[in-house]
């Protein structure tokens, strides 16, 4: 049932290396493998010895693993910086001596600017900043990426092609990366809370919990799919399902009394500001 954003089904002839083997690296690696376009044998991930659980999880996915970040650089065409923002400058300085201009560095770290990363790498290093989200794990991610000053023609296509294996991908100016973080980067957690709330409502009016969660999740999924596939404005789709005096408008009245849209706007703005403050 997933929407296929992949530009083509040809395999990707590239080795991908993840510096950091945590949740996001695994989500992206799993999405890439599940797309069938890149084999697990072409993906390597590193993590320090103390974080052995991440290494074990990556081994289960079939990835090559190491504790040595330089090994990732030696064995990859595209190097993804997938560590927490606080560790970015340390790992970037560490890999700098092993990096060549033939390699592309892709950072997914929250709030760390392209200029920041470029300043720690050899001059003319090709840097891309990506804001992905966790639904990449089921190939329904939404990623935006911004290109660094030394990127070449074709680099944007490489990144879009890779990210498209795990969902929707779009190039944006770097100034939009923080707003993207506030919306799609952080948005899955808002929508999990929405699913939980709808399911609680279902349970309150008598549905079994399992069924309520499934119905709530399919409802969000279906609504999103209608927006994407029909191209009709969401306000129009909302109006279309509300018959005069029907149950939907009664429910909608409650949502608006609670300020649903205002709360969502506040959430995106707060997360955007948080991302800006991290940078």
Which residue ranges make up the site for ligand NAD (CB under 6 A)?
Answer: 19-25, 46-48, 51, 54, 69, 82-85, 87, 90-91, 108-110, 131-134, 185
- Of 170 and 226, which CB lies nearer to ligand NAD in the complex structure? 170
CB of 206 to ligand NAD, least distance (A): 34
Least spacing, CB of residue 12 vs ligand NAD, in Å? 21
Closer residue to ligand NAD (CB): 58 or 212: 58
Question: What are the start-end ranges of the H helices in 16-141?
Answer: 23-34, 52-60, 69-74, 88-95, 114-118
The residue of the chain with the least Cβ separation from ligand NAD equals: 22
Cα 147–Cα 140–Cα 31 angle in degrees, nearest 5: 75
CA distance linking residue 258 with residue 235, whole number of Å: 18
DSSP per residue over 197-215, as a string?
A: HHHHHHHHTT--HHHHHHH
Is the CB of 21 or the CB of 158 nearer to ligand NAD?
Answer: 21
- Closest Cα to residue 115, out of 170, 177, 73? 177
- According to DSSP, the β-strands at 64-66 and 78-81 are unpaired
Least distance from C-beta 53 to ligand NAD, angstroms?
9
Minimum distance of ligand NAD from residue 175's CB (angstroms): 18
How far apart are CB 236 and ligand NAD at their closest, in Å? 31
User: Which one, 51 or 249, has the nearer CB to ligand NAD?
Assistant: 51
Show the tokens assigned to 173. Answer: 């100016």
In the bound state with ligand NAD, the residue whose beta carbon lies nearer, of 86 and 228, is: 86
CA distance 36 to 40: 10
């Amino acid at each position: 049932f997933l929407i296929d954003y992949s530009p083509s089904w040809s395999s990707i002839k590239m080795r991908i290396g993840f510096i950091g083997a945590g949740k996001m690296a695994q989500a992206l690696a799993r999405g890439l493998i599940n797309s069938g376009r890149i084999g697990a044998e072409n993906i390597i991930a590193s993590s320090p010895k103390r974080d052995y659980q991440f290494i074990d999880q990556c081994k289960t996915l079939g990835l090559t693993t190491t504790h040595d970040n330089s090994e990732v650089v030696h064995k990859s065409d595209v190097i993804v910086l997938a560590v927490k923002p606080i560790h970015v400058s340390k790992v970037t300085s560490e890999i700098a001596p092993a990096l060549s201009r033939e390699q592309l560095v892709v950072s997914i770290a929250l709030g760390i600017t392209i200029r920041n990363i470029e300043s720690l790498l050899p001059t003319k290093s090709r840097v891309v900043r990506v804001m992905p989200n966790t639904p990449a794990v089921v190939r329904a991610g939404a990623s935006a990426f911004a290109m660094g000053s030394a990127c070449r023609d074709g680099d944007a296509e490489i990144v879009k092609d890779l990210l498209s294996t795990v969902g929707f991908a779009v190039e944006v100016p770097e100034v939009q990366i923080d707003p993207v973080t506030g919306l799609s980067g952080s948005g899955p957690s808002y929508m999990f809370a929405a699913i939980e709330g709808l399911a609680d409502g279902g349970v309150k009016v008598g549905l079994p919990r399992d069924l309520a969660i499934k119905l709530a999740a399919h409802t969000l999924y279906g609504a999103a799919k209608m927006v994407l596939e029909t191209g009709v404005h969401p306000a129009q789709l909302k109006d279309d399902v509300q018959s005069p005096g029907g149950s939907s408008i009664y429910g909608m009245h409650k949502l608006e009394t609670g300020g649903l849209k205002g709360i969502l706007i506040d959430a995106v703005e707060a997360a955007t500001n948080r991302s800006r403050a991290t940078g």
